[in-house]
Amino acid sequence: MDIGCGVEMNCCKAVLTQFPDVRALIAVDKQSTVFQQAHFRDKKINSCVGNILERDSLKMHEGKMNKIISTNTFHHIDDKEMAFRNVYRLLKPGGEAGFLFVVNSWLYEFLKDLSELPKYSAILKGALPENLYPPDHGNQYYKEMLEKIGFKDVRAFEEEQRFCFPTDECFKDSIFGSLKIKLKMPLEAVETFKKDLLQVYEKAVGRYEGKLCHVSVRLNLLGVKPMESSDSKSKETTVN
């Protein structure tokens, strides 16, 4: 089962390429439009509109999955513990889950620094994207969360991911584009703002092979549902 498959169906595609003997896959996404617009289809893939935060939407699959994966989705989910708990319920005893999601982004830190400059504090107030990555939520935090739910053999390791912008103009347009809708700035101030964006970012993050890069930290998180426990009931009663 792939949670948050997205229109590209990247995980399903990769699984079917790497493991051609896989008999069936369930692609889950909370947006039904994903399946209408899917860029990849295969007769082994069963589409399922479901929300990993809403247990009832996936109830028919509970206790039946031997593998669950999810990439680039869990950082969008606020209540991660609830989502992991529902994944645990979906697994068969002995089933395995693997997650890959972002736990930190230098971009947010940089925007925060920028908003603290007196020149921009008023203008950026309320314009910053929500910080999806609390600073103390790293590999140890999520490892313990999975263990509390009942997963065993939990492994968690972080990796840095760098996306380099081909030109400085692309960098400026991308950052400015992500803020534009909420910014109230006179047109004549935009170019100066973009120039400042670049300078502050370069000072804070530097360049990689001469290019400005978006750097994020992704967490690989893996866990197994024990054979002896078919559900997490005993743990659920001890958790608020």
Q: Which CB, 83 or 124, lies closer to ligand SAM? A: 83
Q: Which CB, 73 or 104, lies closer to ligand SAM? A: 73
- Interface with ligand SAM, residue 105, by CB under 6 A: no
Q: How far is CA 152 from the centre of its chain?
A: 22
Give the total of residues touching ligand SAM (CB under 6 A): 20
Query: Cα separation of 23 and 8, whole Å?
Result: 20
- Interface with ligand SAM, residue 58, by CB under 6 A: no
Give the tokens for residue 177. Answer: 């584009």
CB of 216 to ligand SAM, least distance (A): 13
- Interface with ligand SAM, residue 71, by CB under 6 A: yes
Among 15, 34, 45, 222, binds ligand SAM (CB under 6 A): 34
CB of 191 to ligand SAM, least distance (A): 32
Binding positions for ligand SAM, 74-103, rule CB under 6 A = 76-77
> What are the two backbone dihedrals, phi and then psi, of residue 207, each rounded to the nearest 5 degrees?
-120, 155
Query: Cα separation of 105 and 91, whole Å?
Result: 31
Q: Taken in order 187, 193, 197, 198, is the CA torsion positive or negative?
A: positive
> What are the two backbone dihedrals, phi and then psi, of residue 143, each rounded to the nearest 5 degrees?
-60, -45
Among 16, 40, 44, 53, binds ligand SAM (CB under 6 A): 53
Choices 1-9, 101-109, 143-151, 179-187 (CB under 6 A): range interacting with ligand SAM: 1-9
CB of 49 to ligand SAM, least distance (A): 9
- For residues 52 and 86, the answer to whether their CB atoms sit within 8 Å is yes
- Interface with ligand SAM, residue 203, by CB under 6 A: no
State the alpha helices, DSSP H only, in 100-207: 106-115, 118-124, 139-149, 168-180, 187-205
- For residues 142 and 74, the answer to whether their CB atoms sit within 8 Å is no
- Interface with ligand SAM, residue 51, by CB under 6 A: yes
Query: Cα separation of 94 and 226, whole Å?
Result: 5
Residues forming contacts to ligand SAM in the complex (CB under 6 A) are 3-6, 8, 10-11, 28-31, 34, 51-53, 71-73, 76-77
